[in-house]
């Protein structure tokens, strides 16, 4: 591992940028789909996940249920992870791409808060400050009328849809943060393929049930939408693979900081392909959220480096 780092010192960060680009392009294709509900897109994504993970489960002989004491955690990891995906896809469809992407970057801040509540991890005044920065960024993006007046500019469609998308994105972020806390609780006692397997299976079951309840299950009429669905699945899978590889050869702190390229790609793609210029409120909100996310990542990184040095001593 050390020799590989010496040969390609920036490879992990390159993988992170590539992962961010693939996720951003997948989000762009989601915006371009016209006749497919976000829940159905999520169902197709889960099918791709299952197809990828199944050979790995067979190869590593992990089984399909996992250790008895960990199954309840795996269930909630799958349920919360798939819920986060569905809500995020909905947010992408009803609000500007950059706005939804920025809100997802509050996840590290909420992860610290939830880890303090449930795992008794340290939560300092710096963490509180970063949380307030993240909340400020979300408010600037949501622009509630009681603070910004009744005429809100720079949104897609009606303000009602914008507000629904904001709520969906925030709930998605909280679900994703809860998933990370659960994964920390489980630790390395469960193979990561099993974690993805639960995510895909429970997500697919939940999506199918929701589609029948909503009466939204239908194959897209347009050939272009079908191509977009396949590309979303492939790009999402590729993004996950490169992010996993990045975390295997690089520390989590630099990866978390570099992952903010998601926001840059979202702004660029929104301007180039969706002809939607972000407002200064969105830019201000993005700066608040990115500063909060980077600050949280740097603090965690420094804390882990200190711990590693203490162990060496």
pLDDT one-digit tens code per residue, 18-36: 988 998 999 899 888 877 8
- pTM for this structure? 0.81
For the chain, state the CA radius of gyration. 20
Residue 100 falls within a domain, yes or no? yes
Whole-number Å distance between alpha carbons of 137 and 170? 12
Q: Residue 1: what pLDDT?
A: 44
pLDDT band of 9, cuts 50, 70, 90: low
Q: Residue 42: what pLDDT?
A: 87
| Per-residue pLDDT reduced to its tens digit, 170-229 | 999 999 888 888 877 776 677 777 888 888 899 999 998 988 888 877 766 667 888 888
| Per-residue pLDDT reduced to its tens digit, 114-145 | 888 887 878 788 888 888 888 888 888 877 76
Residue 101 falls within a domain, yes or no? yes
Residue 223 falls within a domain, yes or no? yes
Query: Would you say residue 146 has pLDDT above 60?
Result: no
**In terms of Cα–Cα distance, which of 243, 276, 292 is closest to 104?**
292
Q: Which two tokens stand for residue 184?
A: 């920390």
Q: Residue 58: what pLDDT?
A: 87
> Average model confidence (pLDDT) for the chain?
81
Which are the contacts of 9, defined by CB distance < 8 A and separation ≥ 6? none
Whole-number Å distance between alpha carbons of 166 and 87? 10
Q: Residue 216: what pLDDT?
A: 75
Phi-psi label, residue 190: left if phi above 0, alpha if psi -120 to 50, beta otherwise: beta
Q: Are 105 and 261 in contact (CB under 8 A)?
A: no
Q: Residue 252: what pLDDT?
A: 62
Residue 208 falls within a domain, yes or no? yes
Structural domain containing residue 56: 11-310
Q: Are 183 and 195 in contact (CB under 8 A)?
A: yes
Whole-number Å distance between alpha carbons of 134 and 119? 22
Count of structural domains within the chain: 1
Which are the contacts of 18, defined by CB distance < 8 A and separation ≥ 6? 242
Residue 1 falls within a domain, yes or no? no
The string of DSSP codes covering 141-200 is HH--HHHH-S---S-SS-HHHHHHHHHHHHHHHHHHHHHHHHHHHHGGGS-HHHHHHHHH
């Amino acid at each position: 591992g050390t020799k590989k780092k010496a040969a390609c010192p920036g490879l992990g960060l390159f993988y992170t940028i590539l992962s961010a680009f693939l996720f951003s392009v997948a989000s762009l294709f989601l915006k371009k789909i016209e006749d497919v509900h976000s829940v159905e897109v999520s169902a197709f994504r889960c099918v791709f996940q299952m197809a990828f993970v199944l050979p790995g489960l067979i190869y590593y002989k992990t089984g399909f249920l996992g250790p008895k004491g960990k199954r309840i955690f795996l269930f909630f990891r799958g349920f919360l992870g798939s819920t986060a995906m569905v809500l995020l896809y909905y947010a992408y469809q009803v609000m500007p791409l950059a706005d939804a992407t920025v809100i997802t970057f509050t996840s590290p801040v909420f992860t610290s808060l939830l880890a303090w509540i449930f795992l008794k991890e340290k939560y300092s005044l710096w963490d509180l400050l970063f949380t307030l920065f993240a909340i400020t960024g979300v408010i600037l993006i949501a622009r509630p009328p009681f603070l910004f007046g009744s005429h809100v500019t720079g949104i897609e469609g009606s303000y009602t849809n914008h507000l629904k998308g904001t709520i969906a994105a925030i709930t998605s972020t909280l679900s994703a943060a809860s998933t990370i806390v659960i994964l920390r609780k489980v630790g390395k006692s469960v193979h990561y393929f099993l974690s993805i397997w639960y995510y895909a299976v429970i997500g697919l079951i939940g999506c199918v049930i929701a589609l029948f309840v909503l009466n939204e299950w239908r194959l897209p009429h347009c050939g272009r939408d079908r191509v977009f669905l396949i590309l979303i699945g492939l790009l999402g899978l590729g993004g996950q693979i490169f992010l996993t590889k990045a975390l295997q050869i690089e520390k989590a702190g630099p990866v978390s900081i570099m992952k903010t390229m998601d926001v840059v790609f979202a702004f660029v793609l929104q301007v180039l392909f969706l002809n939607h210029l972000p407002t200064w409120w969105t830019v201000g909100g993005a700066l608040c959220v990115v500063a909060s996310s980077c600050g949280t990542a740097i603090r965690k990184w420094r804390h882990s480096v200190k711990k590693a040095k203490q162990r060496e001593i």
